[in-house]
Chain A
Amino acid sequence: MRRLVVAVTVVTAAQLLAGPALAQTPVERGKALYGEFCVACHGANGAGNVRQQSSRIGFGPGRNQVQQSGIAPSLRGVGALAADFYLRTGYMPLQRVGLQPRRSRLILTDAQIRALVAYVASLGAGPAIPAPHPERGDIAAGMHLFTDHCAGCHQVVAEGGFVTGALPPPLEDATATQIAEAVRIGPYVMPRFSKKAISDSQLDSIIRYVQYAKHPDDRGGWAIGHLGPVPEGIVTWLLAASLLVVVCMIIGKRLKTP
């Protein structure tokens, strides 16, 4: 196994070192990138890895990135949908192996992502990148569906929250495509909602609602995070009560030191 991995890496490195002179298809470019960023955990040809590997591999332009070996699921059949989601959110490459994937600053360019997506899609037949149409969705239906299926973890206006051992993220940076993808994947510990559970038109409504929730109706003023009583309590004490104590100190006397 190890020999195979090293062999693949050598070939990949050779291809990289050979430079842009070789006319490469996106899949081939993707495969080279895969060898740089993904193979340590996801294994050769996306086979996955359930047993931890101890060796560090990788050289060439990617050698400055911390190479970590870890366990990872197989990518065969996950399709362009999954690859596109994980790469565009920056969930992958994982910054720290073993922890919850988080939205991160992208280290891959758009062209690199497209190449990797093409490569992963080629590993086995899987779902394509979805094309949601939130403008066709009904926002009231979206709020209702979101409250039913999503608000328990993500909070009713998508501010994120806590579930045992994980942190469902806020959705303010999620694009329509990413929401559609996440719903169909169920990343980390999130449930997976198939088209049978949430149809494409229902998904359009949910996405429309989530987009609304990024800048919801704040007719009452400063929204203090849409989190409810915790920031309200902070304002009560640190703003209102403090101000009123200051007013009292202006009006009343202060004790003089003896």
Chain B
Amino acid sequence: MIRAVVRYLDQRSGAAPLVRKTLRYLFPDHWSFLLGEVALYSFIVLVATGTYLALFYQDSTAMVTYHGPYGPLQGQEMSEAYRSVLNISTTVKAGLLIRQTHHWAADVFIATVTLHALRIFFTGAYRKPRELTYWLGLSMLVVALLEGYLGYSLVDDLLSGMGLAIGNGVALSIPFIGANLGELIWGGPFPGTHDFFARMYIFHVFLIPLLIAVMLGAHLALVALRHHTQFRSERRQTERKLVGVPTYPGQTPRSLGLMLAVAGVLFLLGGLVQINPIWLWGPYHTYAATNGAQPDWYLGWLIGGLRLVPSFDLTIGHYTVIPNPFWGGALFPMLVFGFLFAWPLLERRWTGDTRYHNLLDRPRDAPGRTAIGVGFVTWVFLVFVAGSADRVYVFFGLNYSSQLWFYRGAVFVAPFVTGLIAHRVCVELQRGEQVERRRRRAEEEARAAHA
């Protein structure tokens, strides 16, 4: 039966050699290598649920009066876009389930991409010959951040509308060209032209998913062509020799199982834990606002940046060179991603290591890289946490202004502290292993001497 099918397909495509190679392609085995897969499966859930939502969403900002099942919004003015999402959430069967699954999938997707990126960084997987793979991955992360932002902004609820206004404010803050850029994208000053939502929609459902798909294809192709990196967990694993589990039969049930597990977790969340209850927020108006508005978690580092910078616009005479939001909203992410993109080249220059690497470092094996990575993560994380200082005040009573001043100092000092600690820990762990090895050798010798 199998042979008949295989024969049929091979005669019509000649693909048997490729399929054979694919079936026996080797996956080095470590749990952290599965993080990228988790991100991939989250993306598949996003595309599937997103397609469904797109069949019910209306990208129009034309104002309508609500007459629907949700009482507190009865008779209220809102955009058609917001009303269509209300409709999905209250009337379309399984609409809310799929909408919430889609939103959770977006949050989880970026979280797992981040975990995957951290794994890549701390094990040195981005080194030659995998720099292109790494840069493609980073680019996908940047694009994913934008995609998520556009996605939840399409709903036109009070929270995301405020976020769009801030996005416009940050665009305007770019020196020399900010207002021009903002005008171009929005079709005028905020809130912009009535087809701005149509633009967001086309980017969110077509252009960006296409871009991600292409980059993802190239990313996976490169991984497969150069084969996956491995830890030196066995003697026979070297820079030249790879040990792994073949696609079939070993890896297939694991990957399939992981895919269904990811989908299962996302659908469980989508049904059981409420996310973005837009009927509670109400529709957006430029003259309306609510306390406690925050962007989705993956943009929390930017709100931290925006809140931390002290009050000043940099002016020369009457010309405003750098409006305030630029530092926290634009320069900060540019520095973060600039560093990440440049890192393989920086490390090459700094260590002088231009060799080809298929073996991974454990974090302790590269104390310098680990220290810099830990310091860098500390920096970004502190800015991220600073964005919730008001919530911390509400819950724990720590004065808001005092927190701001603490963070303003800590973001410069703490990365060095944690970096140094990380370096120390790596060195100590390495020394511990040396001691352990010597002890074991001494025991063996003693045993041999006794025998």
- Which chain A residues have a beta carbon within 8 Å of chain B's beta carbons? 139-140, 142-144, 147-148, 151-157, 159-164, 167-168, 209, 212, 216-224, 226-230, 232-233, 235-237, 239-241, 243-245, 247-249, 251-256, 258
Q: Does B74 contact A (CB under 8 A)?
A: yes
Chain A residues lying within 8 Å of B261, measured Cβ to Cβ, are 244, 247
Q: Does B190 contact A (CB under 8 A)?
A: no
Question: Which residue of chain B is the closest to A169 with respect to CB atoms?
Answer: B394
Question: Which residue of chain A is the closest to B28 with respect to CB atoms?
Answer: A253
Q: Which 8 A-B pairs have the closest CB atoms?
A: A233-B297, A252-B31, A220-B274, A161-B291, A156-B290, A162-B390, A248-B34, A236-B107
**A228-B159 in contact (CB<8A):** yes
Q: Does B19 contact A (CB under 8 A)?
A: no
**A156-B281 in contact (CB<8A):** yes
Q: Does B282 contact A (CB under 8 A)?
A: yes
Q: How far is the CA of A229 from the CA of B265 in the complex (A)?
A: 19
Q: How far is the CA of A129 from the CA of B174 in the complex (A)?
A: 55
Q: How far is the CA of A155 from the CA of B70 in the complex (A)?
A: 20
Q: How far is the CA of A230 from the CA of B107 in the complex (A)?
A: 12
Q: How far is the CA of A144 from the CA of B70 in the complex (A)?
A: 14
Beyond A155-B291, A161-B394, whether A258 also contacts B276 by CB under 8 A is no
Chain B residues lying within 8 Å of A143, measured Cβ to Cβ, are 72-73, 76, 282
Q: How far is the CA of A161 from the CA of B291 in the complex (A)?
A: 6
Question: Which residue of chain A is the closest to B158 with respect to CB atoms?
Answer: A156
**B277-A223 in contact (CB<8A):** yes
Question: Which residue of chain B is the closest to A164 with respect to CB atoms?
Answer: B400
What is the CB-to-nearest-CB distance from B40 to chain A, in angstroms, rounded to a whole number? 12
**B31-A228 in contact (CB<8A):** no
Q: How far is the CA of A235 from the CA of B115 in the complex (A)?
A: 16
Chain A residues lying within 8 Å of B437, measured Cβ to Cβ, are 258
A-B contact count (CB 8 A): 190
Q: How far is the CA of A54 from the CA of B277 in the complex (A)?
A: 52
Chain A residues lying within 8 Å of B73, measured Cβ to Cβ, are 140, 143
Chain B residues lying within 8 Å of A209, measured Cβ to Cβ, are 72
Q: How far is the CA of A250 from the CA of B282 in the complex (A)?
A: 43
Chain A residues lying within 8 Å of B74, measured Cβ to Cβ, are 139-140
**A152-B291 in contact (CB<8A):** yes
Q: How far is the CA of A245 from the CA of B114 in the complex (A)?
A: 13
Q: How far is the CA of A53 from the CA of B279 in the complex (A)?
A: 52
Q: How far is the CA of A237 from the CA of B107 in the complex (A)?
A: 9
**Residues 261-276 of chain B: 1 if any A CB is under 8 Å from the residue's CB, otherwise 0?**
1100110010111111
**B76-A144 in contact (CB<8A):** yes
Q: How far is the CA of A178 from the CA of B400 in the complex (A)?
A: 28
Beyond A252-B30, A255-B362, whether A232 also contacts B276 by CB under 8 A is yes
**B280-A167 in contact (CB<8A):** no
Q: How far is the CA of A157 from the CA of B293 in the complex (A)?
A: 12
Q: How far is the CA of A227 from the CA of B71 in the complex (A)?
A: 21
**A221-B271 in contact (CB<8A):** yes
**Residues 371-405 of chain B: 1 if any A CB is under 8 Å from the residue's CB, otherwise 0?**
00000000000000000101101100000100000
Chain B residues lying within 8 Å of A221, measured Cβ to Cβ, are 100, 271-274
Tell me the chain B residues, 251-310 only, with Cβ under 8 Å from chain A: 254, 257-258, 261-262, 265-266, 269, 271-277, 279-282, 288-297, 300
Chain A residues lying within 8 Å of B280, measured Cβ to Cβ, are 156-157, 216-217, 226
Q: How far is the CA of A53 from the CA of B43 in the complex (A)?
A: 67
Q: How far is the CA of A251 from the CA of B258 in the complex (A)?
A: 8
Q: How far is the CA of A218 from the CA of B279 in the complex (A)?
A: 10
**Interface SS, B side:** helix
Chain A residues lying within 8 Å of B394, measured Cβ to Cβ, are 160-162, 167
Chain B residues lying within 8 Å of A226, measured Cβ to Cβ, are 277, 280
Question: Which size bracket describes the interface of B in this complex?
Answer: 35 or more
Chain A residues lying within 8 Å of B293, measured Cβ to Cβ, are 228
Chain B residues lying within 8 Å of A222, measured Cβ to Cβ, are 272-274
**A168-B291 in contact (CB<8A):** yes
What is the CB-to-nearest-CB distance from B245 to chain A, in angstroms, rounded to a whole number? 9
Question: Which residue of chain A is the closest to B152 with respect to CB atoms?
Answer: A229
Given contact pairs A232-B296, A241-B112, enumerate 19 new A-B contacts (beta carbons under 8 Å).
A151-B291, A153-B291, A162-B393, A217-B70, A220-B274, A222-B273, A226-B277, A228-B293, A233-B297, A240-B108, A243-B265, A244-B261, A244-B262, A248-B32, A248-B35, A252-B32, A253-B29, A256-B233, A258-B436
**B111-A251 in contact (CB<8A):** no
Chain B residues lying within 8 Å of A233, measured Cβ to Cβ, are 107, 296-297, 300
Q: Does B135 contact A (CB under 8 A)?
A: no
Chain B residues lying within 8 Å of A153, measured Cβ to Cβ, are 291
**A156-B282 in contact (CB<8A):** yes
Q: Does B231 contact A (CB under 8 A)?
A: yes
Q: How far is the CA of A143 from the CA of B158 in the complex (A)?
A: 13
Q: Does B416 contact A (CB under 8 A)?
A: no
Q: How far is the CA of A42 from the CA of B102 in the complex (A)?
A: 57
What is the CB-to-nearest-CB distance from A149 to chain B, in angstroms, rounded to a whole number? 11
Q: Does B75 contact A (CB under 8 A)?
A: yes
Chain A residues lying within 8 Å of B70, measured Cβ to Cβ, are 217
**B277-A155 in contact (CB<8A):** no
**B96-A159 in contact (CB<8A):** no
**A162-B288 in contact (CB<8A):** no
A151, A218, A243: the one within 8 Å of B289 (CB) = A151
Q: How far is the CA of A168 from the CA of B274 in the complex (A)?
A: 25
Beyond A142-B72, A240-B108, whether A229 also contacts B296 by CB under 8 A is yes
List 18 contacting pairs A-B, 8 Å CB cutoff, sorted by A: A140-B71, A140-B75, A151-B289, A156-B158, A167-B393, A209-B72, A227-B391, A230-B388, A230-B391, A237-B111, A239-B269, A241-B111, A244-B265, A248-B34, A249-B31, A251-B257, A252-B31, A255-B30
Chain A residues lying within 8 Å of B282, measured Cβ to Cβ, are 143-144, 147, 156
Question: Which residue of chain A is the closest to B159 with respect to CB atoms?
Answer: A228
Task: Identify the interface centre among A148, A223, A244: most chain B CB within 10 Å of its CB.
Answer: A244
Question: Which residue of chain B is the closest to A148 with respect to CB atoms?
Answer: B288
Q: How far is the CA of A131 from the CA of B231 in the complex (A)?
A: 73
Beyond A217-B280, A230-B388, whether A147 also contacts B29 by CB under 8 A is no
